[in-house]
Chains A and B, each alone.
Chain A
Amino acid sequence: NAGVMQNPRHLVRRRGQEARLRCSPMKGHSHVYWYRQLPEEGLKFMVYLQKENIIDESGMPKERFSAEFPKEGPSILRIQQVVRGDSAAYFCASSGRGPSTDTQYFGPGTRLTVL
């Protein structure tokens, strides 16, 4: 009965490199959400995806960030040309029925450090 899985758990990148964060939702869940937690802050919504569709990306920075949830395989959050300000914990959550009154269950997070 695996929960939400994220990998890697820790990722170190130098400025200008690319970061790829992966998220496998709970079994049976088809809704995936990405959140970012900057140091000393709460979690901030980034993007909501269903299989092969981006539903809401209003929290995504306009440049360098992209997300996908293909028909097969995990959801990917991609950050191109990382900068030090991208250092944060990135959490993925999944739900089964969709938003509103459906509970989102979170993975353990990926801690990105940009040197």
Chain B
Amino acid sequence: DQQVKQNSPSLSVQEGRISILNCDYTNSMFDYFLWYKKYPAEGPTFLISISSIKDKNEDGRFTVFLNKSAKHLSLHIVPSQPGDSAVYFCAASGDGGTSYGKLTFGQGTILTVHP
């Protein structure tokens, strides 16, 4: 039962262009969503988060959009840089029930930014 899904295993983008990574979830108890970036042999690095009371959060080149009715969120990176090449994980947590405390992760999307 995959409650958080990243349906694109990989994404290739040209430097300077926009990268859009997508994530869908099924558990309506989720109320906090995060994006992490991960390099090989390292731990996930927190990028940006959004609470369910918002529909957009921006931090520098990174913007996360949340569409609660569609149970969908996306991460936009503008402009994309070669150093952004990594695996990006979407994660969600909730305030109650079985989603309390723990993060539920998607499978990850490998982003490659070409110079």
A residues with CB within 8 A of B: 4, 6, 31, 33, 35, 41-45, 48, 55-56, 58-59, 91, 93, 98-101, 103-109, 111
| B15 interface residue per 8 A CB criterion | no
How far does the alpha carbon of A114 sit from the alpha carbon of B95 in the complex, in Å?
36
Nearest CB to that of A4 among chain B residues? B43
Whether the pair B89, A100 counts as a contact (CB closer than 8 A) is no
By a CB distance below 8 angstroms, the chain B residues around A111 are 41
B residues with CB within 8 A of A: 31-32, 34, 36, 41-46, 49, 51, 89, 91, 93-95, 98, 100-108
Main secondary structure of the interface of B (DSSP, over half): strand
When A100-B31, A100-B32, A100-B95 are in contact, do A55 and B101 touch as well, CB less than 8 Å? Answer: yes
By a CB distance below 8 angstroms, the chain A residues around B49 are 103
CB of A27 to closest CB in B, whole Å: 16
How far does the alpha carbon of A98 sit from the alpha carbon of B36 in the complex, in Å?
19
By a CB distance below 8 angstroms, the chain A residues around B104 are 45
How far does the alpha carbon of A98 sit from the alpha carbon of B32 in the complex, in Å?
13
Whether the pair A105, B46 counts as a contact (CB closer than 8 A) is yes
How far does the alpha carbon of A44 sit from the alpha carbon of B4 in the complex, in Å?
11
By a CB distance below 8 angstroms, the chain A residues around B95 are 99-100
How far does the alpha carbon of A111 sit from the alpha carbon of B40 in the complex, in Å?
12
CB of B102 to closest CB in A, whole Å: 4
Most chain A beta-carbon contacts within 10 A, residue among B45, B49, B100, B106: B100
CB of B23 to closest CB in A, whole Å: 11
Most chain A beta-carbon contacts within 10 A, residue among B36, B49, B103: B103
CB of B26 to closest CB in A, whole Å: 15
Whether the pair B36, A106 counts as a contact (CB closer than 8 A) is yes
When A42-B106, A43-B105 are in contact, do A106 and B100 touch as well, CB less than 8 Å? Answer: no
How far does the alpha carbon of A99 sit from the alpha carbon of B94 in the complex, in Å?
8
Partner of A100, one of B43, B94, B98, B106: B94
CB of B75 to closest CB in A, whole Å: 15
Whether the pair A33, B103 counts as a contact (CB closer than 8 A) is yes
How far does the alpha carbon of A106 sit from the alpha carbon of B89 in the complex, in Å?
13
